Structure 1
Amino acid sequence: MGSNVWHPGGMVGRFNVREGAGDADWSVWDNAANGTRGAGLSEEAACRLAADLELQYDVYGPRSPDHVRRVDPPVPVEKAWVAAGFVDAWVFEQGTWIGRVKGRDNKYSWIPGIELRQADQI
């Protein structure tokens, strides 16, 4: 079970959540560094860590501060006229803003901004 990511040649998706042997044995794999960034975590904690690391790093290292925008409070969004969740941050990658969307299942997905629109409610 990996994190749900979008990466058409970009590096959103650098960090993947990996399932271990038990409930508190989840880890976060760094595809660029080819190593683990967190281990011994719950699934929810691993998903959150991977999503936060995606905001901090691209394939080359730390993201430029002008390529990250946080949304506070998170805004409800739709994709294809269906509730997608709440966008709480954006990253700019390869000429495109990509929204970090937390769904009802508390998992994160990365969706190009052009595919999202603000929802009245979720």
Structure 2
Amino acid sequence: MLGRFTVRPADDGSDRFGVWDSAVNGWRATGIDDEKRAHDLASDLDVQYDAHSPRPPDAIRHVDPAQQVQRAAWSTGELDVWIRDNGEWLGRVRDENGHITWIPGANLQLA
């Protein structure tokens, strides 16, 4: 279940953000000042957990240092981790603005 964790505006009327855990239907984190930081946290949690529990260690491959890659759309980004989700390897790629996209491995190539 990629996307188990989503960023939502805080429900307390503030300008802050939180990370919602769809598997338990509740907040995983609240009071985050920066929306980008909230998205980073949600993505890090998606690396660690699938729909039911922590991902097995053999389902995660960190790329250190992160590598430049090209997507099939021929845009570039930085790959920093692989996860196996529903039998498919997905790479977490950040674009030049820091936005995160999960891309199937078959759609990536080194830049």
TM-score normalised by structure 1 residue count: 0.82
1:58 match: secondary structure:
coil
Runs of 4+ deviating beyond 3 Å: none
Match of 1:66 among 41, 48, 58: 58
Q: Which residue of 2 aligns with 1:113?
A: 105
Paired amino acid for 1:16:
T
Give the Cα–Cα distance (whole angstroms) in 1 for the partners of residues 76 and 101 of structure 2: 9
Q: Which residue of 2 aligns with 1:36?
A: 27
Q: Which residue of 2 aligns with 1:16?
A: 6
Give the Cα–Cα distance (whole angstroms) in 1 for the partners of residues 72 and 50 of structure 2: 27
Output one character per residue of 1:58-117: Cα deviation in whole Å (capped at 9) or x when no partner: 001100000000001111111125223101000011221000111111121111101111
Q: Whose RCO is larger (CA < 8 A, sep 6+)?
A: 1
Q: Number of matched residues?
A: 107
Structure 1, unaligned runs of 5 or more: 1-10
Give the Cα–Cα distance (whole angstroms) in 1 for the partners of residues 76 and 104 of structure 2: 12
2:47 match: secondary structure:
helix
Match of 2:43 among 32, 45, 51: 51
Identity of aligned residues (%): 44
Match of 1:92 among 54, 67, 84: 84
Paired amino acid for 1:87:
L
2:77 match: secondary structure:
strand
TM-score normalised by structure 2 residue count: 0.90
